[in-house]
């Protein structure tokens, strides 16, 4: 099992947020987001994605 960025994947799953929605908010393609998640992200990048997930769950 891939544990890289598992915290992001789990938080999105628990909040029923699809990865393509996160990619749209980042203004990148879905495949680009998946590629980025293959390597551990910096704390700042993670913080940005967590805030996007929180924003999307409020919508």
Share of the chain above pLDDT 90, in %: 92
pLDDT of 37: 95
**Please, what is the average pLDDT of the chain?**
95
In a domain, 20, yes or no: yes
Using 50, 70 and 90 to split pLDDT, how confident is the model at 24? very high
Is 1 contained in some domain? Answer: no
Is 41 a member of any domain? Answer: yes
DSSP for the chain, written as a single string = ---TTHHHHHHHHHTT--HHHHHHHHTS-HHHHHHHTTSPPPHHHHHHHHHHHHHHHH-
In a domain, 19, yes or no: yes
Residue 1 has pLDDT above 60, yes or no: no
44 lies in some domain: yes
What does the block give as tokens for 56? 């999307």
Instruction: Find out whether 11 and 50 touch, Cβ atoms under 8 Å.
Output: yes
Confidence of residue 3 (pLDDT cuts 50, 70, 90): confident
Assess contact for 23 and 33: CB atoms under 8 A: yes
Q: Does 37 reside within a domain?
A: yes
Give the pTM: 0.89
Domain count, the chain: 1
Structural domain boundaries, residue 14 = 6-58
């Amino acid at each position: 099992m891939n544990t890289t960025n598992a915290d992001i994947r789990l938080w999105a799953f628990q909040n029923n947020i699809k990865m393509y929605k996160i990619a749209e908010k980042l203004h990148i393609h879905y495949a680009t987001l998946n590629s980025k998640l293959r390597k551990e992200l910096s704390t700042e990048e993670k913080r940005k994605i967590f805030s996007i997930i929180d924003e999307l769950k409020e919508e």
